[in-house]
Amino acid sequence: MKKYYNFRLLGDRVSFLVNRKALITFLLLAAAAAGVFIISTGTGEMKISPLKVVQVFLGGGSDMDRLVIQSFRLPRIIVALMVGMALAAAGGILQGIIRNPLASPDIIGITGGASVAVVAFLAFFSDKNNALTVSINWMPLAAFAGAAILAFLVYFLAYKNGVSPVRLVLIGIGLASLMKALTTLMMVFGPIYQASQANIWITGTVYGSNWDNVAILVPWTLVFLVLAFVLARNVNIQELGDDIALGVGSTVQKYRFLLLMVSTALIGGAVAFGGGIGFVGLMAPHMARRLVGSAFGALLPASALIGGILVMAADLIGRTLFSPLEIPAGVFTASIGAPYFIYLLFKTRNA
């Protein structure tokens, strides 16, 4: 059986080498994501069969089904999917450009920056009765700004005739610890109510997502995912080290900056609407690597789908397992992801 397909159009102007196994895995993952999406949409206080869910997607179904699905469940599930995809893709990019398997949005401090911004937002815009003085709708913006500022800070502080991966990760870890300390400090000094609200945010939840969120997050995430895909071959070359990348004529620093910005945008969008969901950004790329190998053109989409599946599943469990109690999705991403990850490691240890 052929392992690769040559994909060529317009006399080589559009040409790709497609790995058969990666393509099949990608299709299977896409099917799995669609499956989880449909099951999640049908599950909750009111059960709706998958068939009826699909009917509603196609514009049919009963009024009641439509109401439940369209008004209550869909926005949240779509946000979960986008958040998972964005974090996983960003984690993959970071691991590639930093050349370190431990790199992830939380480790280099970008998520931490968002946490500080959110806790500060809750602290500064609350009155004596713990009611917010401004709309809660501004919170995503605060989270996004926190993530973006921190990413620039990491880049700026790591800069010395360009940015080396080691400096980037060390400065990132330093700032991440500082952000953690700041977050704790503000939570300790703030009122209990705020602390618990902040804590839910830090754990990560897509509770309360609405169509307005979807309208922002979907185009934002998709645009940057496509951009990341376009830049994939630059991740591939950076993974071989700066010397090799420079040797084959890549403008390493330019692409490192661009890729860092793309991952920051993805993370910023994700934390703005999903909070500090952990594990996905770190582990989804590793799972994808075990399934499709490390060529980034295959790894990125596979990783994104795994991330989407993880967060959707975690949210499904979080809102159904202890219903009517809502558990933040961030609690479950690790508990459902880790066993599978360990299984993959175990299975591929001799491969």
Partner 1 sequence: MTAGQAIATKDLTLSYGDTIIINELDLEIPKGEITVFIGGNGCGKSTLLRSIARLLKPKSGAVLLEGEAIARLSTKDVARKMAILPQSPSAPEGLTVLQLVKQGRYPYQTWLKQWSTEDELKVRNALKATGMEELRDRTVDSLSGGQRQRAWIAMTLAQDTDTILLDEPTTYLDMTHQIEILDLLFELNEKEKRTIVMVLHDLNLACRYAHNIVAIKEQKVFAQGKPEHVINCGLVKNVFGMECEVTIDPLFGTPLCIPYGKGRCILKGQGFQG
Region 287-346 residues binding partner 1, contact defined as CB under 8 A: 289-290, 293-295, 297
Nearest distance in Å: CB 297, partner 1: 8
Which distant-in-sequence residues (6+ apart) come within 8 Å of 121 by Cβ? 138, 139, 142
Partners of residue 18 on adjacent β-strands: 5
User: CA 218, CA 59: separation in Å to the nearest integer?
Assistant: 21
3-state secondary structure of 18: strand
Instruction: Tell me if 191 contacts partner 1 by CB under 8 A.
Output: no
| Beta-carbon count within 10 A of 147 CB | 29
Q: Which of 220, 268, 259, 231 is nearest to 109 (CA)?
A: 268
Instruction: Tell me if 349 contacts partner 1 by CB under 8 A.
Output: no
x-or-dash string of contact with partner 1, 261-290, rule CB under 8 A: ----------------------------xx
Among 30, 32, 70, 99, binds partner 1 (CB under 8 A): 99
Instruction: Tell me if 2 contacts partner 1 by CB under 8 A.
Output: no
Look at the chain and count its residues. Answer: 351
Residue keyed to tokens 């815009």: 125
Q: Please choose, out of 3-11, 152-160, 182-190, 335-343, the segment that lies near partner 1 by the rule CB under 8 A.
A: 3-11
x-or-dash string of contact with partner 1, 211-240, rule CB under 8 A: -------------------xx-x--xx-xx
Region 59-98 residues binding partner 1, contact defined as CB under 8 A: 96
- Contact between 165 and 100 under an 8 Å Cβ cutoff? The reply is yes
Instruction: Tell me if 347 contacts partner 1 by CB under 8 A.
Output: no
# chain residues binding partner 1, by CB under 8 A: 37
**Rounded to an integer, what is the distance from CA 151 to the centroid of its chain?**
16
Instruction: Tell me if 249 contacts partner 1 by CB under 8 A.
Output: yes
H or E element, residue 21: helix 20-42
Rule CB under 8 A: which residues touch partner 1?
3-4, 6-8, 12-17, 96, 99, 101, 230-231, 233, 236-237, 239-244, 246-251, 289-290, 293-295, 297
